[in-house]
Structure 1
Amino acid sequence: MAKALLGMKRRSAIAILARVLYNASDELIAEKLHVTPFDAYRLTSVGISQLRHPSRSFLLREVSVEMDEGVLVIDRALRSLLEAWRMEEMFGALCSACQRPLEIPFAAGWSFDRTRRAGRPRSYCSNACRQKAYRVRRRTALRDGQVSPVD
């Protein structure tokens, strides 16, 4: 997948990855790439058309089996591409406590259909951030008198 994306224009490849991996809207893609929402839509559609071209389609043969199942596997080449283009910083979810980007699990399945993923999406990057947020919520509730100190 990374080879096919590297052969495309960078902005189109970023728009496709943002749509597929992060479920980004045209408005968010437009904001991050500094274009209009229509141009973001056009970048995505042109990029998908470029991926269908025979010169790139042979690169996607082994990926197409995984895509038929509705899951894209993030391998080392794709991970390095995401890091080089700083995709996680632009489109990734942020930790609720420290505002750092949440990490995409290596070689994990990423479903195109968000309803098929098991469990809730992560909110915190670590247990330390989760505990920090809990303490802040607890302190605020105690100060406002919403809970008693023994609860």
Structure 2
Amino acid sequence: MVRRLLVLSALVWLPFLSLFVFASFGNTSLLHIAHHVIALGLLVPAVLMTWRHRRGATTRATRTLARALAVVLPLGTLGHAVELAIAIGRYASDGFANLDTTDLFDHGPHATVATVTAPAMLTSMLLVVALTVTTAVQSRRRLEPVAGE
């Protein structure tokens, strides 16, 4: 169980960490699009793993954390998908030229969607750590499942 949660943690945290790699090479259309494509490739399996884990959670604490994660992680994933669509639209409107996209973060639909995506992803990152630690501690203590729930 803890191993699966460590994989889930990696899937949730890697899109955030990859942001710094892409940003270090500049803020161009193709790098921006690549970041969102990679993030979606990691987050979609993470959402599926979260839903699967939520059904198998055995204690009240892990069920609560898994439910919260099952809400905010798909929200962040959807935000990445919308941001990707906006970035591709911008790339097309620029004549498919790999131009600087810094202004996307200042105003417009990308900035609006990012105000939901970023908090959802940061909350997901915190929740997946809390879920992993809680599950690890509870498995070490060998707690019995909560009766009647």
Q: TM-score, normalised by structure 2?
A: 0.28
Higher helix share: 2
Ranked by relative contact order (alpha carbons within 8 Å, sequence separation 6 or more), the top structure is 2
Larger radius of gyration: 1
